[in-house]
Amino acid sequence: MTNGSSLLSIEHVSKDFYGNVVLHDVSFDLHEGEILGLVGENGAGKTTLMRILFGMPVIMETGGFQGSIKIGGTEVHFSSPFDALDAGLGMVHQEFSLIPGFTTTENIVLNREPMRRTILNDVFGERMSVLERDKMRERAEKAISKLGVDLDPDMLVSEMPVGHKQFTEIAREIDREQTRILILDEPTAVLTESEAEVLLKTLKRLASEGIAIIFISHRLQEVLAIASRIVVLRDGHVVKDTVNENIGMRDVASWMVGRSLGEAGKRAEARNLGQTIFSVRHLWVDMPGETVRDVSFDVRKGEIFGIGGLAGQGKLGIPNGIMGLFPAGGEVTLDGKSVPLNDPAKALAMGMAFVSEDRRGVGLLLDESLEWNIAFTAIQVHRQYLKKMPLGLFSLRDEKAMEELCQEYVRLLDIKCTSTKQKAKELSGGNQQKICLAKAFAIKPRLMFVSEPTRGIDVGAKKLVLDTLHHYNRDFGTTIVMVSSELEELRSICDRIAIVDEGRIAGILPPTADISEFGLLMSGVAVEEAVNA
Amino acid sequence: MRNLKTFIQDFGWPRIIIFFFLVGLFIMAPFVNVRLDASISDVLNRFGQNAIMVLAMVPMIQSGCGLNFGLALGLVSGLLGATLSLQFELHGMLGFLGAIALATPFSIIFGWLYAKLLNKVKGEEMTIAMYVGFSFIMFMCIMWLILPYSNPTMVWGYAGKGLRTTISVENYWLHILNDFLAIRIGQFFVFPTGLLLFVALFAFLMWLFLRTKTGTAMTAVGSNPDFARASGVDVDKMRTISIIISTFLGAVGIIVYEQSFGFIQLYTAPSPMVFPAVAAILIGGASINKASMVNVIVGTILFQGLLTMTPSVINSLLQTDMSEVIRIIVSNGMILYALTRKIKVSK
């Protein structure tokens, strides 16, 4: 369905942030009137690519990028988003960048208002021109009618339903006469189903008028419904660039998440797991950005239970809620005993431990020694590493026992440090993560939550962290619930994997399940289909 | 060389400059006819007078509530204890200890209410605390007048009611600590053994406390409240405890000060006592969320040393009264310096 020459070409674009490669030799073309669906997991490089396209300052500050971008055949170098706008690129953001106290019209023509000269112009210059209200309205109406939706030009943005806000944003972009390319980043994420449908229709209409659209979404059914071509990014590589013909959702899903399949299969050993020791019923957690709505699952003794899903769907809310760090409700039982929610001390005392995804914010005492970091929770929760003073009136920290404990873990987990007195902030990310694990191990938990254990650490450290978890699970029987956005990681060590979508568990799969099943669950479609498959 | 560099970095230039300035003053003293032995004796005495008020800064710094600019609450508790002890005609050691005992319930109640407030304004503690201190002192100005005290040594002679601005403790517990086991050498030098022992006792108790389970939790709350919470520590409770301890130490501090100074000063007198305590601990090297006993001792010696030596030496040297100006520049400059260092604390 390519009509005309290519409007935008991205040629051999690579980008790294301080050696960490995010985009690797990405090339694709965009033609006039084409809708290109860009899909990929979190961290696949979609956002970085859009930033490069828009000349965001962050790209230049981190050393620019390799490769070139051509618009209409000529190479362009944007030094700021304004250049990109002038060149005809329009962007509709995930978060609304509208002014709530202004009307639809005012928002659409903002900063491009038609002006009428007044006498004051001669004295004070251009800034004293007045707005031409009727022309503004005219232009807004034209943009709205182009969209083919019903928007009130005089309504305040603050009073609009979300769907209308999204349309206002799009109207603003197409009001610019030169806009030829429109980029939409997850435009349907906040919309209801019917609103999303209208939006998709509108996009098709715009495309038929010759505007090229890049549509980024993780809702695969939408991408398949409107895109004429699909580009799949994975780990910074374009893994698929294909015309949208005879493609099933399953195909796209497996391109999106799939690495080699054999890897995970070999780990699927038959294990004799004990009975259920931990169960969660109708859990809700009010964690900003990671809301959990209604989650129920059971974990069996000695199991490594994985929880995956895309960012913002609520997988991180589950351990944070159970451990009492965010307001939560529902029923949680450990060993048949009910776990009180919203009380970290009780949750810890019941024999649960938590390795937070927010290592520097929650996981560590950056300004204290490694000894403190590892022993602190044990001191507070189980009154360990304290020694009674004569008379038994009070007890003090047992610095010697703390040092021994710390040395033991430094040896066990191969933590690279100059001494156990070193401050936690001086260690590298991987070693900091090991300290967090040691802290959790030190209280000898019956059930351990591990949240994003390999985020932001290098490959070698990743392996060590995963091996450590595996080792503790097999040799000490620690039951582990591991939350991670890296599916491969979950598949490599978990016994079962639950995928969370929109605050609910979309399905629970064995690690050997086909990669496309996971992709489908993450995309929030065909739950039944996947379960029955 | 590298050791020296890191040492200087750890210790901080301002502290080193102040240290050498102080040494310089001591060296100059004999040349401008200021007696060295009297000066040293004076520094020791002032150190003892003020050290506990400086120590009062430690718990709140450790729990992350910042510098206790609202120390006035503790000082007023101490004043209430001291005046009540006089009202009840308690003399000698009984009077001194009685003053502390009577001040304790006030310091706990005030500290608890103060903590309630500070727990609601996390992140802005220091600003709020300063205004709490100021307004409370003003409130007490009214109370000192209308509280039904009746001891003739304390109330205004002409009206028979309302407390005087300055009340002598001479017949009650003047120098009760200073003279305890005091060592007198020559005409001018007195070593205030009892006073310093008392200070040492409190510093030791604080040192012990910071090593208990509660003290450890408190330090962690100051270092990273989210970490502490995730480890099952009740953050607000720890902050409340630290604020109550700080207020109590403020009360003890002012009573120790009074027994040495000889007078109970009421009304607005506590106001100018807060900043020197804050400045002293900062000079001692504390940051706004880490403080140790060493910071307290070094800081108090440096700050009080400066305060003792500048008037006598500089004034004799310049033939003009510069002492107050220098004191204000040093104490406020030090607070300013420490607050700008706030950003260096890693989060």
CB contact under 8 A, A358 and B220: no
Question: How confident is the model at residue A161, as a pLDDT?
Answer: 77
Question: How confident is the model at residue A94, as a pLDDT?
Answer: 65
Q: How do residues A425-441 score in pLDDT, each as one tens digit? A: 888 778 888 899 999 99
- Average model confidence (pLDDT) for chain A? 83
Pick A344's closest partner by Cβ from B232, B290, B347.
Answer: B232
Work out the average pLDDT over B238-245. 95
More confident residue, B310 or B43: B43
Question: Is it the case that residue B51 has pLDDT exceeding 90?
Answer: yes
Percent with pLDDT over 90 in chain A:
15
CB contact under 8 A, A358 and B213: no
CB contact under 8 A, B232 and A345: yes
Q: How do residues A257-303 score in pLDDT, each as one tens digit? A: 765 444 444 454 557 677 888 999 999 999 888 889 999 999 998 89
The C-alpha of B7 sits at a distance from chain A's nearest C-alpha, in angstroms, of 17
Question: How confident is the model at residue B62, as a pLDDT?
Answer: 92
Work out the average pLDDT over B132-146. 92
Which chain A residues touch B if contact means CB-CB below 8 Å?
323, 325, 344-349, 354, 356, 358, 360-368, 372, 376-377, 379-381, 383, 386, 394-397, 425
Does the CB of B217 have a partner CB in chain A at under 8 Å? yes
Site from B205, B224, B290 to mutate, A interface, most A CB atoms within 10 angstroms: B224
Does the CB of B342 have a partner CB in chain A at under 8 Å? no
Sequence letter at residue A10: I
- B260 neighbors B49 (Cβ within 8 angstroms): yes
Q: How do residues A162-174 score in pLDDT, each as one tens digit? A: 778 888 888 888 8
Chain A with chain B: Cβ pairs closer than 8 A: 80
Work out the pLDDT band at B338, boundaries 50, 70, 90: low
* Tokens 């109550």 belong to residue: B244
Distances (CA, A) of A8 to A74, A212, A336, B28: 9, 9, 61, 80
Three-state DSSP string of B12-61: CHHHHHHHHHHHHHHHHHHHHCCCHHHHHHHHHHHHHHHHHHHHCHHHHH
CB contact under 8 A, B345 and A367: yes
Work out the average pLDDT over B259-280. 89
CB contacts under 8 A, B 267-326 vs A, are 289-290
Pick A397's closest partner by Cβ from B211, B233, B289.
Answer: B211
Neighbours of B183 (CB within 10 A): 9
The C-alpha of B55 sits at a distance from chain A's nearest C-alpha, in angstroms, of 20
CB contact under 8 A, A381 and B290: no
Three-point CA angle B246, B22, B259, nearest 5°: 40
DSSP secondary structure string, A34-65?
-EEEEE--TTSSHHHHHHHHTT-HHHHHTT--
Question: Is it the case that residue B329 has pLDDT exceeding 70?
Answer: yes
Tokens at residue A126, please? Answer: 């251009």
Work out the pLDDT band at B117, boundaries 50, 70, 90: very high
Question: Is it the case that residue B181 has pLDDT exceeding 70?
Answer: yes
Question: How confident is the model at residue B288, as a pLDDT?
Answer: 79
Q: How many helices (H) and strands (E) does chain B have?
A: 15, 4
In this structure, of A231-245, B102-116, B316-330, the range with the lowest mean pLDDT score is B316-330
Pick B223's closest partner by Cβ from A346, A347, A367.
Answer: A367
Question: Is it the case that residue A532 has pLDDT exceeding 60?
Answer: no
CB contact under 8 A, A386 and B213: yes
Q: Can you tell me the distance from the alpha carbon of B4 to that of B107, in angstroms, rounded to the nearest whole number?
A: 44
Three-point CA angle A416, A419, A423, nearest 5°: 85
Question: How confident is the model at residue B2, as a pLDDT?
Answer: 59
Question: Is it the case that residue B346 has pLDDT exceeding 70?
Answer: no
CB contact under 8 A, A354 and B227: no
Site from B6, B226, B227, B235 to mutate, A interface, most A CB atoms within 10 angstroms: B227
- Average model confidence (pLDDT) for chain B? 87
Q: Which of B280, B223, B333, B216 has its CA nearest to residue B57?
A: B280
- Alpha-helix runs per DSSP H in A333-486: 344-349, 370-382, 399-412, 429-442, 459-476
Work out the average pLDDT over B77-95. 92
More confident residue, A318 or B19: A318
Does the CB of B214 have a partner CB in chain A at under 8 Å? no
Question: How confident is the model at residue A330, as a pLDDT?
Answer: 92
The C-alpha of A198 sits at a distance from chain B's nearest C-alpha, in angstroms, of 44
Three-state DSSP string of B93-122: HHHHHHHHHHHHHHHHHHHHHHHHHHHHCC
Does the CB of B204 have a partner CB in chain A at under 8 Å? no
Question: Is it the case that residue B267 has pLDDT exceeding 80?
Answer: yes
Question: Is it the case that residue B341 has pLDDT exceeding 70?
Answer: no
Contacts of A345 in chain B (CB under 8 A): 232-234
